Structure formats: C-alpha cells, structure tokens
Amino acid sequence: MKIYTKNTTRLLRSIATLSLAMACTDSTVWGAGSDSKLAPDLQSLNPSANVDVIVTWKASPSAAEDQRMTRFGGAVRARMRNIRAAHYSLPASALQTLAADDNVAYISPDRVVSAHLDQADATVGADLAYQFSLDGSGVGVAIIDSGIGYHDDLKGTVVYEKSWVGNTDDQFGHGTAVAGVIAGTGADSTGRQFSRTFKGPAPGVNLLDLKVLDPSGNGRVSDVIAAIDTAIALRDKYNVRVINLSLGQPVYESYTKDPLCQAVEQAWNAGIVVVVAAGNYGRNNPATTYGYGTITSPGNDPDVITVGAMNDEGTFTKSDDVITSYSSKGPTLFDTIVKPDIVAPGNLIDTTLAPNSQLVKQYPTMGIQNYLYQYNGNRDFSTKYLQISGTSLATPLVSAAAALILEQHPSFTPDQVKARLMKTAWKNFPDTSSYTDPTTHITYKEQYDIFTVGAGYLNVDAALSDNDVPRAWLSAESPSAVFNPSTTKATLVNGDNVIWGSNIIWGSNVIWGSNVIWGSNIIWGSNIIWGSNALPLNALNIIWGSNIIWGSSVPSAASMPGAGASGAGNGQTLGPGSTSSNETADYATSDGDR
C-alpha cells in the first residue's frame, strides 16, 4: 500500500493560516478554540451529564488509557484503526482532567452527521464514456450512507455490505439514490415501452455498502470513521479506490483537529479518492453573508474532492446551467481553504428508489410520474425511480467520474485524479445569476467566483480525453486564501510540491481559469470583484470581516438550519449532503428549485 505524504504543504498552510488569523479584526472565536484541547461544543456541558467523545492522542492509546477511562467512570466504545483516536463514553466532569493529559491532542464529541440521471449524465459528458469502452469495471466504490436497498438497476453491483446501525436495508432511502447515480444499469427503464432510461455513468463498478445512517438519515461520526477504516482495510480485496460521502456535519474547528477530517486523510493517503458533498447551506443569510463560509465537514479538508451542486435546467447543454442557491460556498471556516473543488448537476436528479423508505413515505410525490419515462404511462408515481436534489446527488456523479478515470489509469494516485478533474472542468460560467423563491419571495443572488464553483463544472469527456499526467508525488491539496489588509488583496497559497503551484506542471490559471476572479495570484484586487458592477457585496467584510469567519456569529451546531434534528423537511435535518436550508434541498421535486 503506497502512502503519499504532503508535509511541506502542511507546514506552509499552517504558516498561511497563522498569518491570516493575525490579520483578522476580531479574533474572539478563533482565540477561544485554537489552543483549547476541548472542542467548542464540549465547553459548556452539564458536569453531571455523560457524553460520547472522540479523543485524538499524540501517541497511540494503550491499555493504560483505557483503564484511566474506567477510573473516570467511563467506557471504551471503539478504537480507530487508522488515526490515533478512540471513541469513549465518560462523565463530562472528567473532560477538563482528561484534556490536561500531555498525550491528549484533542477531544471532540461524537457528533451527528446527516444525509446532505439521464440528462445529468449528458450534461457532464458522462454518457460519452462508452466511446472509451469504460464503465468503471473492476473499481471498488465504497458508499458510506444509509444503505443500499434492493433494486433491479443495482442487481449484482454490491459486493460487500456492513451496517453500524441495524440491518443493511436502506430504510431512509438516500444511499440507494446515491448508488443509482453512480452505478444504476437502467434495467427497470430499458425497453421499447420506455421513453427515457435512467443509467449511471459507471454501472460496472463494485459497490461496498457501508451503512452508517439510521432511518431518519442521521448517524454518528464514530461510525463514519469506522466505515472509512473498513474501506481502507478492504482496499486490496475489492480494489477500493473511491469513497463517496454524501453526508456531513457543521464545522466546529480546524480540519487539522477534526477526527472525521483526519480519517478521510488516512483514506486518501492509502490511495483512495474521497469525494464529499459541500453541504446545502448556500441560502444562509442571503442579505448579509450570501451563504459564504458554509462548507461542511469533512468537505473542509484540503485533500478531498468537495462537490457543489448545479441546476442543469433539464437540458443536455451546459450553456443554460446555473449554480443552485442551496449549494454551500467557501472559504472554509477557520482554515479558509478554497472550496468547493468542483460542481456537478445536483438538482432534480432522477435515480433509484428504495421501496418503503422514509423518504418516499414522507414525500410521496418524490417519485417520478410514470408517463414521464414510459410510453402510455399514467400519472401515478413510479415505484422504481424518484427525483431528488442536493449536493448529495452531485457528489456521486464526481465519484463515478473518478472511477472511470481509475479504470482508464489504474496507477493514478488520488491527487492525480483530483487534478485531472479540476483541470478539465468546464469554466465558461456567466458572471452572475439569481433565483427568487416562489414561496418566500426571497431572491438569492449568485456570483461565479472561486468559492462558489471551485475549478468549474464536471466534464467527464474532457477528463477521459486529457493526456496531461501530473507527477505522482505531487499534491493536489486545495489552496488556502490569504487576505493582506495592507494591500487589500487576497492570494492563493500553495506548498512548493503542489500540482498547481506557479511553476510546476499546471499554473493556477489553468486549474481555475484565466479570469481575475480565480487568477494565478489574486482572487480580487483593490477594486474588489464583488463591487458595484457585480453583486452588492463587499468581499473584505463578508469573508474576512469581524462577524463572519472569526466573529461572534460564526456558525455553530445550533445556528445551522436543522442541525441535530432527527426529522426531515421544514428546515430540519434532511440527510446526507449535510442539512439544508428552508428550500428543502435533497427533496425538491416540483419547481426545479435552485
């Protein structure tokens, strides 16, 4: 098993992040959380309460640490295989004492994670993979989600299944939808009686069904980490090269401290491409922050491929497509990593339906009406296919593209796959677009900058046609954005071993386009891209002001819409792809909500 390291980049990024923190006008929140070993959401618990935590150790924990937990009145829940961490249950009164242990690096709660294609395939060129005789055959894709239910379109694709939350049936329905986007064969929509066939780009892949989300679409970080460990352990047996994570949680700390981020990095270092939903918080604070700084964990990790959602407008061309209003935007909280990395269709995606799942029970009109894909079909809702929206559904399209690249180039590292996808992404966006919600009458204004669309729009055909091969030892870590208050300019900061560094292989203007919005050095200059000729935004106040990234209103679990809730709809937690705002992303079915 090859291990790919990026120590130089880590060091440079740490320096850049420190410089940026020092430049902030209000460091209240940053100062409260940067040095403490206790996560911010552990610092005000009732001492008499019991809490499940994930403790990250500086050196691997031994039996002595386990015995100490017992003396605290706690218990060992599980050991993490690939990171120096373990899951414990213990009284909150013991946390401060535990944090004083020299071997403890960080303590975080075992948080809740939640579940955040016919024309979509054609829009991103995935339907042209057949020209290359590629369908993902031989590539293992681990879907860490709510399970994969039985469906004719997925028959024979699942080679391994394991659940951390009951049986392996998909009682929620989200994992089956994700699986169909990647590997659906179209069996139940193929034939003379069908006007449309719903088929995924990579029907030849081998799926690993790793269930971590319960019937309400919620799960625990510890289970997600355990599933990631399982995928790593099975890498050689099933050629696991891709992990799809259409789920997430709010960001509470730097990715360097977050155990979920550390787990995905271990998978990446083991040679597995990790593809993560950006989240559905893009409608947050439409009149003040315009949804910036809302990327969820682990999409905030610079290694992984973080995916935002486009609306393909129901056509086969890209020219009329727009970013969805709910797609989360960067930069990431605390670290200001440039995210998302790429965008893909995620609005009103047609995919496989898990019978009797909670999604269908709660949203019976989510199914596709029979006449929309069957000749002489009636207006009853299909029992085979549904239509669903969110960054959760954009993510598996990118996972499928990664599988096709890896079938074509089996020796590619995760960094090479990421670089190929970002370099070949389509970059001809409009300057702005807007969408008015028909219910609330709120207008959401979108700007096509680096924090909204990343490197561009997934373009599978271009990715498979490209002949440039970056050096295997180079990193494709997403850069950080650093603001210089003296020059009022922001720059992208990369390490000297990064694929898109200024003098290595591909310059930043190749990855992000020649437009000044994401040029090789400056994201915006002294006149500011977000000025009077674009949207009524002020970049300096929105991204680096005193009330956003580090100010008193930094998003928390309580302030994120629906965070921690167990139901779906009406702003509650919806499921993989993180939680949505009021537009119920992940479940939009009627008006093509953007």
Which DSSP helix (H) or strand (E) runs through 8? helix 7-23
User: What is the distance between the terminal CA atoms of the chain, rounded to a whole angstrom?
Assistant: 42
Burial class (CB in 10 A: 0-12, 13-18, 19+), 291: buried
Torsion sign over Cα 573, 577, 582, 586: negative
Q: Which residue numbers are catalytic?
A: 145, 174, 392
Closest C-alpha among 304, 160, 299, 162 to residue 226: 162
Return all residues near 21 (Cβ < 8 A) that are at least 6 apart: 27, 30, 34, 550
Tokens of 48: 């008499």
Closest C-alpha among 247, 245, 215 to residue 111: 247
Q: Phi and psi dihedrals of 122, rounded to 5? A: -65, -35
DSSP string of 380-447? Answer: SEEEEEEEE-SHHHHHHHHHHHHHHHHHH-TT--HHHHHHHHHHTSB----SEEEEE-TTT--EEEEE
Return all residues near 209 (Cβ < 8 A) that are at least 6 apart: 143, 147, 148, 158, 160, 161, 162, 168, 175, 179
Return all residues near 461 (Cβ < 8 A) that are at least 6 apart: 125, 126, 128, 129
Closest C-alpha among 254, 245, 255 to residue 223: 245
What is the CB neighbour count within 10 angstroms for residue 430? 13
Closest C-alpha among 489, 506, 493, 487 to residue 415: 506
SS3 306: strand
Contact 243, 403 (CB under 8 A): no
Contact 476, 143 (CB under 8 A): no
At 492, the amino acid letter reads L
Q: Phi and psi dihedrals of 480, rounded to 5? A: -100, 155
Q: Phi and psi dihedrals of 121, rounded to 5? A: -60, -45
The rounded distance, in Å, linking the Cα atoms of 336 and 331 is: 5
The rounded distance, in Å, linking the Cα atoms of 66 and 511 is: 47
Write down how long the chain is: 594
| CA angle, residues 363, 369, 373, in degrees to nearest 5 | 140
Strand partners, 107: 38, 55
SS3 160: strand
Cite the DSSP H helix spans in 214-302: 221-233, 235-238, 259-269
DSSP string of 104-134? Answer: EEEEEE--EEE---HHHHHHTTGGGGGGGT-
